[in-house]
A and B are shown apart, each in its own frame.
Chain A
Amino acid sequence: MDYFLQNFPQQLINGLETGSLYALVALGYTLVYGILQMLNFAHGDVYMVGAFLATGVAVLFVHGSVAALPAAVVVVLMVLAAMGGSGLLGIAIERVAYRPLRDSNRLAPLITAIGVSLLLESVVQVRISPGTVLVPTNALVPQVVAHIGSVATPVIALVLMALAVLLMVGLDLFVFRTRFGAAMRATAQDREAASFMGIDVNRVIVVTFLLGSALAGFGGVLEGLRFSTVDFFMGYLIGIKAFTAAVIGGIGNVRGAMVGGFLLGVLESLGGGFVSTAFQDTFAFMALILVLLLRPQGLFGERPVERA
């Protein structure tokens, strides 16, 4: 019991930090699913591309001969490049790989999604690097550790978690408080009816991909800044975890994805800390099975309505 009490706060923080990453990526899955009822399996790779874009900016300004800029400015440029680049990539993927198949068999866009995923991984692997690429974080973010009681965690991890939460709150406000958010929700409820009401459904879909992908891009920057390395395969596991988080929260539900992400992170770190690290990843998927058995629509999900 002593061991538990001593380590619980630390593992909780560890889990929340990891979970913030899952939540950011899970949002992309859930937004797209909510509107199109399709699983964008290339989402993890959009995250990876965001991380590489940010790393490119960092390497250019830290090691390159381009004008020396203050570290804070470089970080802001990294975030802009990653979110902008990933957002545009998301739009492009939707235009090229999903829109032409929107009215075909439901499996078709799933297959193209997997194709896009493999394509992105291969292009980065062949064109950029087959191994890990170093992010010069030493020159960019202060390597300071925060001590709060018995909990010690890198300041950067806390800052990044706070930023992730801020972005999520922003997204939540956008979806639930703005006119465009209402259009998104209407499209999610019934695409055809929404278009009859004068909603430009294509525009809603494009913005959805932009938002989800930009959040994933930000997640990519986050991972690069925290762990100092990026590689072409980094989107795979987080893609699966984030998808799991989205399903646990109730796929299609924005708040559910956020809660699911944090929940998954915490479950993993507590499981790893107090049960067994060998099964750390298993806890995520056990949670998924439990949720699917007991509440198939997810924690926040609504019962699926069969559409004609």
Chain B
Amino acid sequence: MTGSRLYAALALSALGVVACGGGGGGGGGTASKPDKVQIAAEGPFTGDQASIAAGALQAIKLAVKDFNAKGGVHGTQVQLLTWDDQHNAQTAGTLQAQGISDPTVLGLIGPMNSGVVLGTAPGLQGASPPLPFISESASNVKVTDSGWAVAHRVNARDDAQGPADAKFMIDQGAKKIYLLDAKSDYSTALADAVQGYLKDKAPTIQTKRDSAQQGQKDFSTIVTNIKSFGPDWVFFADEGPEAGPLVTQLKQAGLTIGQNIQFLGTDGEEDASLIQKSQGAYVGAYATNIVPDPAGISTASSFVSAFKQEYGQDAIGKAGPFYGSAYEATQILLQAIAKSPVNSGKISRSDVLSQLASGTFDTIFGAVKFNSKGDVASGGIYVYKAGTDSMVVQKQISG
């Protein structure tokens, strides 16, 4: 006992010497250097959503690298853990357990999917101390409406996206809308929101609602349903790659996007790889997204060029919709960690959490502050249109 206490005292005094010797790296002169700082990035980095999530992971890596280049947390380099949850809450829970038990894991960027958040947030909240997370893409209202203090997100919510999607179709003159969901927490809630808004605000518009499967490729039954309903718009709330085979088979059935049918997709469909995967059938389709595209925002221009420099000139086109919000979320988490007090070489997750609740953070999209639920005020909805090789941002809309 005595030995270990002596050792601890020695270690502490040694740290004090190092901190003094390092001299005034942190603010206020009282900050000592944390021994170890880790954050985790979680998302479906492999599997059917890999093409969407991979860009987010690249952005998180870049954000950590940029932050470390400026000195990290009072001189300590931040280490990034990568948790590939494969869009599966069980896998996510297993991965998060290692972070929960390690007090130097101070926060989590992600999970990216609403369903994964809803499945794992109770565990993160129940950890001691709770493990805060900032999602860059989970939009189900329950993510921040469930009262979990650990829950934060930088993207807009379904209850903003649903009305905005519905309004967009109304403004485009839609008369008959076929609504399709993909049976996930995200897509069902979103399709419900669109359907509810249409019923309320545009009761003359006829709708029909169907469900697809995640991973579905054979859409012949659904295409037949669409043809016999005869809509002028198809709305597909989806977070995966299912839109590719759907629009391909629509075209085979004689429904060409932009000619005799209009198509509106959501987050997962703001994915330029769909144009190639559908062999061009996707050209002309619209998709809305819950995060801004850095390429269209002046304050983010240096980030965009840094991203291209790091990952290649064509990296932006392949990065999917969430690379900007992922960078933003990482900036916020790292700033919250840097603002937290260091006690004997340790930063507590509870302090990071209270910094997230109270602080204002400087990001590539401007100053960001969370409200009491963990949402940001500025989250807008953006419309993209599929060109011949990329998704082109059209405008920002809101419900």
Contacts and interface: CB of A to CB of B under 8 A. Distances in A.
Interface string B68-89: 0000000000000000000000
Interface string A234-254: 100100000000000000000
B215 A273 contact: no
A228 B248 contact: yes
Nearest to B214: A237
B279 A228 contact: yes
Contacts of B276: 134
Nearest to A143: B252
B228 A134 contact: no
A42 B225 CA distance: 34
A229 B221 contact: no
Contacts, number: 98
B90 interface: no
B221 A268 contact: yes
Given A18-B218, A132-B277, A143-B252, A277 B50 contact: no
Contact of A231 (B48, B220, B228): B48
A232 to B, nearest CB: 8
B346 interface: no
Nearest to A154: B252
Interface residues of A, number: 40
B224 A277 contact: no
Given A7-B228, A131-B48, A134-B277, A278 B218 contact: no
Contact of B46 (A14, A125, A229, A273): A125
Given A154-B252, A229-B245, A233-B48, A277 B222 contact: yes
A227 to B, nearest CB: 4
Given A138-B279, A278-B211, A227 B217 contact: yes
A86 interface: no
Interface in B179-218: 183, 210-213, 215, 217-218
Contact of B222 (A15, A157, A227, A272): A272
B56 to A, nearest CB: 14
Contacts of B183: 278
A273 B224 contact: yes
B254 interface: yes
B368 to A, nearest CB: 31
B46 to A, nearest CB: 3
B241 interface: yes
B159 to A, nearest CB: 22
Contacts of B248: 227-228
B254 A278 contact: no
Nearest to A3: B228
A184 to B, nearest CB: 32
A94 interface: no
Contact of A277 (B210, B241, B278): B210
B279 A277 contact: no
A195 interface: no
Given A137-B279, A138-B279, A6 B228 contact: yes
Interface string A1-44: 00100110011001101100000000000000000000000000
A115 interface: no
Given A14-B224, A273-B224, A229 B51 contact: no
B225 A132 contact: no
B241 to A, nearest CB: 6
A223 interface: yes
A131 B54 CA distance: 10
Given A3-B228, A11-B224, A227-B245, A130 B217 contact: no
B244 interface: yes
B289 to A, nearest CB: 19
30 contacts: A14-B218, A14-B220, A15-B221, A17-B218, A18-B220, A130-B47, A131-B47, A131-B50, A131-B241, A132-B244, A132-B277, A145-B253, A152-B253, A152-B254, A223-B217, A228-B245, A228-B248, A228-B277, A228-B279, A233-B47, A234-B217, A237-B213, A268-B221, A272-B221, A273-B221, A277-B225, A278-B183, A278-B210, A280-B213, A281-B213
Contact of B50 (A10, A130, A134, A145): A130
B224 A10 contact: yes
Interface string B247-261: 010001110000000
A63 to B, nearest CB: 12
A55 interface: no
B45 interface: yes
Contacts of B245: 227-229
A292 to B, nearest CB: 23
A231 B215 CA distance: 10
Given A273-B225, A277-B222, A131 B51 contact: yes
A130 B222 contact: no
B250 to A, nearest CB: 12
Contacts of A268: 221
A277 B183 CA distance: 10
B215 A237 contact: yes
Interface in B41-70: 45-48, 50-51
A117 interface: no
Q: Which 3 pairs between the two chains have the least Cβ-Cβ distance? A: A130-B46, A14-B220, A278-B211
A91 B211 CA distance: 39
Interface in B256-284: 276-279
Given A152-B253, A237-B215, A278-B210, A269 B221 contact: yes
A132 B48 contact: yes
Given A132-B51, A229-B277, 9 more contacts: A143-B252, A152-B254, A227-B217, A228-B244, A229-B245, A268-B221, A269-B221, A272-B221, A277-B222
